[in-house]
Amino acid sequence: MACASVSASLSPLLRSESCLNFLSPRSIEDLVFPGGTKLDSVVKRIIYKSDDNDYDTYHSEANSTYLLQHAEATRFNLFTGFQTLPEREESFKVNETVNVHCGFYSDNGGFKISDIDMRYMRSCKVVVSTCAFGGGDDLYQPIGMVNSSIGKVCYVAFWDEVTLSTQESEGKVVDGNGIIGRWRIIVVRSLPFVDQRLNGKIPKMLTHRLFPEARYSIWVDSKYQFRRDPIGVLEALLWRTNSTFAISEHGARSNIYDEGKAIVQKHKATPEEVEVQLTQYRKDGMPDEKRLHGLKALSEASVIVRELAPVTNHFMCAWFNEVVRFTSRDQLSFPYVLWRLNMPGINMFTVCTRRDLVNSLGHTRKVKPLLTQTNSESSAM
């Protein structure tokens, strides 16, 4: 559950018709990867803030008291860095070079991955990823891939030690190569947040930090079984539409303030948390509209397909910082980031298309929260 989003689509395992016209397996085999996006994006380069390049700002004696208070009042820590409100405002400026917080701020920030796994991740050019932390969901094997795609795509599932132990106790043992079925299991140690939902946002939103050599990524929430060929999905949702980022429209609501009410009603966050977030958005001038820049304002973020380019990486960094600063309900912050950055090349596909990409198999068990703060969150205090 920590690595899945709010809405669940009730989609049968077998469907007679497709909402999206996918290429035939033979055509997918013959596909040649494009040279890169044809969009003329302003953002060309990203500098990620770290404790090395921010040393003078954050380690001066004058700031030591502020940092202590800031860390105690928020979920910012040594993994995220300590983004101030002026830095937040600066991060939404679209320039050729942007300098932003984007996780992995300090070597002492947590989310530790072995050197062997890091080498494997650096080899990936196209990645389909999911995660289950705190013992969460079972691992659903992908189906529908074309044989020629198997060697071109990395399937990566991020687990913590609790999930590993839970799965092994049920007889699902990782082999000597770190594999279960199609999935390469990456075991993460020293998770940076007590909130497992927030830990799940790291592989979901920061794919470009985890897979620095990859060109494309497809994120699939853990409650889903991915049922389409990844290369075919890239062609249908990105290349064919000249897009760099594809995400599903929300099926039930289209207004950020209605979404805030629904989150409270469903006890996904406290009224106080949601009010703090929406109050800031109103103060920033966020409009009360169902469409932003010609797109539906609300997304259902359980499947995200994107080119790992500076423009989309900037968007995901800003989005991640919002879910750290405010509630972890990413559907509430997506419209704000969409409005502020006005990123070109977004393909918001229909709910019908999302249901055609995945089988919704639901959550298996409740996530176990971290009981102690022995990682970077306590180190930041």
Instruction: Tell me what percent of the residues of the chain surpass a pLDDT of 90.
Output: 70
pLDDT at 3: 75
Whether the predicted pLDDT of 288 surpasses 90: no
Token pair recorded at residue 239: 């290349």
| Closest C-alpha among 147, 348, 313, 299 to residue 230 | 147
| Structural domain contains residue 226 | yes
Q: Is residue 12 part of a domain?
A: no
How far is it, in rounded angstroms, from Cα 68 to Cα 88? 19
**Lookup: tokens for 297:** 């304002």
Least confident stretch, 34-48, 158-172, 264-278: 34-48
List, for residues 93-105, the tens digit of each pLDDT value.
999 999 999 999 9
Supply the DSSP symbol for 121: H
- 334 by Cβ neighbours in 10 Å (0-12 / 13-18 / 19+) ranks as buried
Task: Please give the residue range of the domain that contains residue 89.
Answer: 42-50+74-360
Rounded to an integer, the average pLDDT of 138-159 is 94
- Across the chain, mean pLDDT equals 86
Region 296-316 average pLDDT: 94
Total domain count, the chain: 1
283-to-90, 165, 257, 277, 336 alpha-carbon distances in Å: 16, 46, 14, 10, 12
Q: Report percent pLDDT > 70 for the chain.
A: 84
Q: Does some domain include residue 375?
A: no
Tokens 């397909």 map to which residue? 305
- Residue 367 falls within a domain, yes or no? no
The better pLDDT of the pair 375, 118 is held by 118
Over residues 19-32, the mean pLDDT reads 91
Phi-psi group of 39: left, alpha or beta (phi > 0 → left; psi -120 to 50 → alpha; rest → beta)? beta
Contacts of 72 by beta carbon, 8 Å cutoff, 6+ apart? 381
> Which of these ranges, 149-163, 212-226, 291-305, 362-376, has the smallest mean pLDDT?
362-376
C-alpha–C-alpha distance, residues 53 and 46, integer Å: 13
Local confidence band at 16 (pLDDT 50, 70, 90 cut-offs): very low
pTM: 0.88
Q: Which residues contact 65 (CB under 8 A, 6 or more apart)?
A: none
Lowest mean pLDDT among 75-79, 126-130, 235-239, 374-378: 374-378
Q: Which of 133-147, 209-223, 289-303 has the lowest mean pLDDT?
A: 289-303
Task: Summarize the confidence of residues 106-111 as an average pLDDT.
Answer: 96
Report the CATH number that the domain containing residue 257 is assigned in CATH: 3.90.550
The amino acid sitting at 378 is S
**Could you give the CA distance from residue 185 to residue 245 in angstroms, rounded to a whole number?**
26
State the pLDDT confidence band at 231, using cuts at 50, 70 and 90: very high
Establish if 149 belongs to a structural domain: yes
Is 102 among the domain residues? yes
| H helix count then E strand count, the chain | 16, 14
Res 273: pLDDT: 93
| 97 three-class SS | strand
pLDDT of residue 152: 94
Query: Is 8 inside any structural domain?
Result: no
Question: What average pLDDT does range 168-190 have in this prediction?
Answer: 94
380 occurs within a structural domain? no
Q: DSSP assignment, residue 154? A: E
Note the pLDDT tens digit of each residue in 333-375. 999 999 999 999 999 999 999 999 999 886 665 555 554 443 4
